[in-house]
Structure 1
Amino acid sequence: MLFLGFAAGLPLLLVFSTMSAWLRDMDVSRSAIGFFGWIGITYSVKVFWSPVVDRLKIPWLSEQLGQRRSWMLLGQLGVIAGVLGMAMTDPQSHLTLVAWLGLTVAFSSATQDVAIDAYRIEAVVREYQGAMSSMYILGYRVAMLVAGAGSLYIADFFSWSMAYAVMAALMLVGVVTVMLIAEPNGHTHEDADELEEALHHQLHLDDPHLRGLRWFVDAVVAPFVDFFKRNGRFALVILLFIGLFRLSDIVMGIMANPFYLDLGFSKTDIASIGKVFGFFMTIIGSFLGGLLVVRYGVFRPLIAGAVMVALTNMLFAQLSLIGPDITWLALVISADNLSGGFSNAVFVAYLSGLTNRAYTATQYALFSSVMTLPGKFVSGFSGVIVDANSYTFFFSYAALMGVPAILLAIYLWRRNLAEEPQRA
């Protein structure tokens, strides 16, 4: 899981903040960079093809490697091809091609994520899921350090083409891992079987000639029916909260590196403070989030995480007024990574409690898609907002976007308190 987490985390920044730094360094306009943020929407809509990854076999490859390993390998090969293509493309003269290659990387990476999530759940019993998740997150964060700080260092001393070529080579870590691990055994769930049979009967799909429709119902319809059946109409409130929780964080993320560069910091400054130092603050934040969930449950830490993310954006606004001060850069980035690690750890714990193990891959893809889709869409306009106003206005605006998440977190906490006597 450490190596699979590394393979999953490496492509993310290559089509997000690292790519935005590359484009800005190549004198691409901030408005165009902002629209590149829409490439990240691919991660937010992976729920639409997660049932295919979950159940459809790849000819020959699935027979040789198994369902999970074959889809992981296919996704990794797509990432390598896309990143190598970006390394050989000049964004100043072929910006559209860079966009298509970035989309290829994002689609392949999101496909790999779905397969890895399914593998993680099926590979070991429930008691070891915490250890699996911890190692996955550690590998993911190491990969983000490499794709963030590592790419900036290589670009500063060599070139951006060299940086992306090295990242493509590092994806071989995932390829080798997939070739060495064993395919997990699938698990059956009686409750899922009963739900699927009930859906077949209600939709009059008992005819064996309707096998294709039955597969679609089992793979696509049943996971969503299960979620709404367990939560009722309150499921809509849950989905709204999931969509808003990281809105403030994601919207500001696409402009972070262009902001540092425009403020006057060098790529080495950003790599040293923003990536290396920030990495350790993220780990500390994740550790604190996990401890508080154990001590107080998930809802009060959710409120704290939402407040921390919004307040961090105000620190960015203050930095935009102060200017290129290294001390303030370290303070702001420390706070940003601490709050990000804290809120993500707590939010993953919350999402894990919502998931039915019988449909974990598809339902988790649903939650993660809803979690990032609003932020990815709004982030596409971030460059336009900065160009039309200022970085100070933009970060203040991003902070205000975190207020609905705070209010919904408080509502969920109070609702949980009201339901505790009934559950007892």
Structure 2
Amino acid sequence: MALSGSTLQAWLSVENIDIKTIGLYAIVGMPYTYKFLWSPLLDYLQPGFLDRRRGWILIMQLVCAGLLCVMATLDVHNAWQVAAVAMGVALCSATQDMAIDAYRTELLPEEERGLGAAYYVAGYRVAMLTSGGLALILAGQWLGWRGTYFLMGALMVAGAVATALSPAVSGQTHSNTRGPSLSEIVKDSTKDFLTKDSAIWILILIVLYKIGDAFAGSLSTAFLLRGLGFTLTEVGTVNKTVSLVATLGGAFIGGHLMKKMGLFRSLLVFGILQGLSNLSFWALSLFPAHVYSMAAAVFVENLCGGMGTAAFVGLLTTLCSRQFSATQYALLSSLAAVGRVYLSAPAGYLVAATSWGTFFLFSTAAAAPGLLLLVYLKKSIDKLTIHHA
């Protein structure tokens, strides 16, 4: 969630918090890495209303709304308080994501999962842009940071209403009847995944595939604001317009191309484009700042990032069994978050020791290991596709 990530990063930047401290705030995203630890609870417990998936989504949305309102009252110079509440927001967001991932996996038939991934990416990025780009504009021109966070809390409540009105997964009820025990869910879901061809190497691929994109994105907002001197309004406007169009275009282009190209080719081609797109920010660091060049760089990065994410979500969905969708998807997406959280945390130190240009060149090179491993795993990924066909 941007409100505990890039938007909070922007708030800290304009308040002149040290860049090293801002970089360390990436650790707030730890719940995305460790969410697999409590993911079996989502396959085990019934909330007691709606159905298992929508019930969990609704609970997390309401709790997150409350925490955002609390964050609006804090002094951002009190690092520990801000970090604690931001961690709570990330915890609720990660749990909500697990329930949504399981909901999507169980709701969509096999033939719709590729395009469903594109719609998911589009919806997710629209939400991120609302809590990112739009939030910056609101904070910079009208509401201030506190008013913006209160508004975002209200939008979470609106999202909870939409959750209550969404369709139920076939066969699910709000009954408290429980199936397998927690230990059985953990054991059986693990055994089910490990029977897949090259399972361990696939887990490593999940960690590495988006590492370059995650590394560059960890300080992109700080780069535009502090490195190039753009205003909150300029950054927010570009994120709201150019970034939105590019992200939606990338997601839908990627989703439709996946039908023709297949999973492996999509992962390879989109992954290459995703890695190379970081060079647009490197080029941006070489020349005087201009809003049009910023818009061009943001467009390229989001277009390629949307395509890469669509293929990546397609891979994660293909790897999951319906019976253990929450547990398995949580484990896989947690591994993907390793790069975003731990490997991106030292990003501020790299910028401080070198330069913004070197930082973005490094992020481009960081994409190479994942792509090489992907090529190595071609046969295993093709088998996954055949199995789910």
| Same fold, judged at TM 0.5 (above) | yes
Q: 2:88 aligns with which of 100, 104, 108?
A: 104
SS in 2 for 1:91: coil
Give the corresponding residue for 1:226: 192
**Do residues 370 (structure 1) and 324 (structure 2) align?**
no
Contact 2:122-2:247 within 8 A present in 1 as well: no
Q: Kindly state the Cα deviation for residue 240 of structure 1 after the two structures are TM-superposed.
A: 0.7
Q: Kindly state the Cα deviation for residue 301 of structure 1 after the two structures are TM-superposed.
A: 2.1
Give the corresponding residue for 1:412: 377
SS in 1 for 2:182: helix
Amino acid at match of 1:319: L
Q: Kindly state the Cα deviation for residue 27 of structure 1 after the two structures are TM-superposed.
A: 0.7
Structure 1 residues 132 and 284: CA distance shift in structure 2, 3 A: closer
Q: Over aligned residues, Cα RMSD in angstroms?
A: 2.7
Q: Kindly state the Cα deviation for residue 374 of structure 1 after the two structures are TM-superposed.
A: 2.6
**Do residues 251 (structure 1) and 215 (structure 2) align?**
yes
SS in 2 for 1:309: helix
Structure 1 residues 411 and 86: CA distance shift in structure 2, 3 A: same
Contact 1:66-1:183 within 8 A present in 2 as well: yes
Contact 1:246-1:372 within 8 A present in 2 as well: no
Amino acid at match of 1:221: K
For residues 159-185 of structure 1, the C-alpha deviation after alignment (integer angstroms, 9 at most, x for no partner) is: 111111110111112221233346535
For residues 402-421 of structure 1, the C-alpha deviation after alignment (integer angstroms, 9 at most, x for no partner) is: 11012112222366679999
Contact 1:155-1:163 within 8 A present in 2 as well: yes
Give the corresponding residue for 1:38: 27
Q: Which has the larger radius of gyration?
A: 1
Structure 1 residues 186 and 43: CA distance shift in structure 2, 3 A: farther
User: 2: distance between equivalents of 1:414 and 1:185?
Assistant: 34
SS in 2 for 1:377: helix
Contact 2:284-2:297 within 8 A present in 1 as well: yes
**Do residues 28 (structure 1) and 17 (structure 2) align?**
yes
Equivalent positions of 1:178-189 (< 5 A) are 178-181=163-166, 183-186=168-171
Give the corresponding residue for 1:387: 352
Equivalent positions of 1:96-245 (< 5 A) are 96-123=80-107, 126=110, 133-157=117-141, 158-181=143-166, 183-186=168-171, 215-231=181-197, 234-245=198-209
Give the corresponding residue for 1:209: none
Structure 1: state its 5+ residue gaps. 1-11, 188-211
Structure 1 residues 56 and 418: CA distance shift in structure 2, 3 A: closer
Amino acid at match of 1:79: C
Contact 1:156-1:268 within 8 A present in 2 as well: yes
Q: Kindly state the Cα deviation for residue 144 of structure 1 after the two structures are TM-superposed.
A: 1.6
Give the corresponding residue for 1:199: none
TM (norm. structure 1) is 0.83
**Do residues 260 (structure 1) and 249 (structure 2) align?**
no
Q: Kindly state the Cα deviation for residue 390 of structure 1 after the two structures are TM-superposed.
A: 1.4
Q: 1:316 aligns with which of 281, 292, 298?
A: 281
Structure 1 residues 132 and 415: CA distance shift in structure 2, 3 A: closer
Give the corresponding residue for 1:355: 320
Contact 1:299-1:412 within 8 A present in 2 as well: no
Q: 2:362 aligns with which of 379, 397, 415?
A: 397
User: 2: distance between equivalents of 1:222 and 1:368?
Assistant: 19
Q: Kindly state the Cα deviation for residue 43 of structure 1 after the two structures are TM-superposed.
A: 1.4
Give the corresponding residue for 2:175: none
For residues 264-284 of structure 1, the C-alpha deviation after alignment (integer angstroms, 9 at most, x for no partner) is: 111111112233211111111
